[in-house]
Amino acid sequence: MKDPAHPPVDLLADHHEGLVTGAQAVAVAAHLDLCTECRSLVAALDEVTDVLAAEGSHAPPMPASVASSLDQALSRAGAERASGIPSLAGRREASGPPPPAAQRRPVWPLLAAAAAVVVIASTVGVGVLVEGNGGSADSQAGGGEASEEQRTSGEDAGDAVPSPTSTPESPGVGADPPSADTAEPGELAELARELDSGTQQPIRPQDSCATPTERYGDGPVSLVVFDGGPAVAVLDGKTRTVTVLDCDSARTKLFATGY
């Protein structure tokens, strides 16, 4: 059959999904009435759904090795929680509303705010410039315990921390990576992994910390436990550095500020 007026296949597929409206929808429907070829494409689309659904109903069980390492990881997380180090997580509820956007992948809430970290840094006397995270100009404001106001501003800043999750976008393919203006989330995650491994060249803790042993949080700001104790790490995707704040002070000192 020679018919120069076949609708493009994308249009047929979108029509079948109910995405085409108005006159275009009428035209496609009219064409489908007459064209067996295009009807067969539509039928094939349904068959794809059928094949996927049939396969979907047979979930492959988690392999034993995966299950075992997952169990171990959860046990470690449980032990960490029992030891109290990351137990601050629950305080978020008491000190502020949950992140507003359901789409946002939450960042470890208490240290999400770079500005807050800078305040922490000033209280422990380790002056570190936090590049690319903004809001450091007031780092001297809090000489001692963080006040309620500082905590609030810290949380505001936390909302500006780049989210590792992509924003909702057009249904296009191959969306470009985020602009390089700010640290790119994937880059941060890679840095974080390198920090965890403690071996990669680009990692330059600015203090002579020992090898990091554990890390909490997956945002640009993390709590890191070194051999010598907890510290705060700020990952900078632009310069590919990890700035480590407060290598030596005890945990209690870090968190005495009320974060």
Partner 1 sequence: MNGADSRDDATLLRAHVAGDPEAFSTLVRRHRDRLWAVSLRTTCDPAEAEDALQDALISAFRRAETFRGDAQVTTWLHRIVVNACLDRLRRRRARATGPLPEDEERAAVLADSRGSDTSAEVSERRADVLAALGQINEEQRAALVLVDMEGYSVEEAATILGCAPGTIKSRCSRGRLRLVPLLAQYSGNQSLPEHVQPAATHDRAPSQASPPTQNPTGGLPQ
Interactions with partner 1, residue window 198-227 (CB under 8 A):
216, 218
Is residue 240 at the binding interface for partner 1, with CB under 8 A as the rule? no
- The reply to whether 33 sits near partner 1 by the rule CB under 8 A is no
- Could you tell me the smallest distance in angstroms from the CB atom of residue 144 to partner 1? 29
Shorter beta-carbon distance to partner 1: residue 98 or 127:
98
Does 171 interact with partner 1 (rule: CB under 8 A)? yes
State the angle between helix axes of 22-34 and 9-16 in degrees (0 to 180), rounded to the nearest 10.
100
100 touches partner 1 (CB under 8 A): no
- Of 177, 202, 210, 238, the one binding partner 1 (CB under 8 A) is 177
Residue 26 sits in the site that holds partner 1 (CB under 8 A): no
Taking the C-alpha atoms of residue 28 and residue 7, their distance in angstroms, rounded to an integer, is 7
Q: What's the closest the beta carbon of residue 179 comes to partner 1, in angstroms? A: 13
**Type and span of the H or E element at 244:** strand 241-245
Q: Report how far apart, in Å, the C-alpha atoms of 215 and of each of 21, 77, 104, 199, 226 are.
A: 51, 11, 21, 15, 9
Which of 29, 30, 37, 197 binds partner 1 (CB under 8 A)? It is 37
Long-range contacts of 85-89 (CB under 8 A, 24+ apart): 85/216, 85/223, 85/225, 85/230, 85/251, 86/216, 86/223, 88/255, 88/259
The conformation of residue 37, written as its DSSP 8-state character, comes to H
Between 25 and 141, name the residue whose CB sits nearer to partner 1. 25
Q: Residue 227 CA to chain centroid, in angstroms? A: 27
Q: How far is the CB of 169 from partner 1 (least distance, A)?
A: 7
List the x/- string, 79-98, binding to partner 1 by CB under 8 A: --xx---x--xx-xx----x
Our finding on whether 259 is near partner 1 (CB under 8 A) is: no
- The DSSP secondary-structure symbol of 218 reads S
Q: Which of 135, 142, 154, 164 binds partner 1 (CB under 8 A)?
A: 164
End-to-end CA distance of the chain: 72
Residue with smaller CB distance to partner 1, 187 or 236: 187
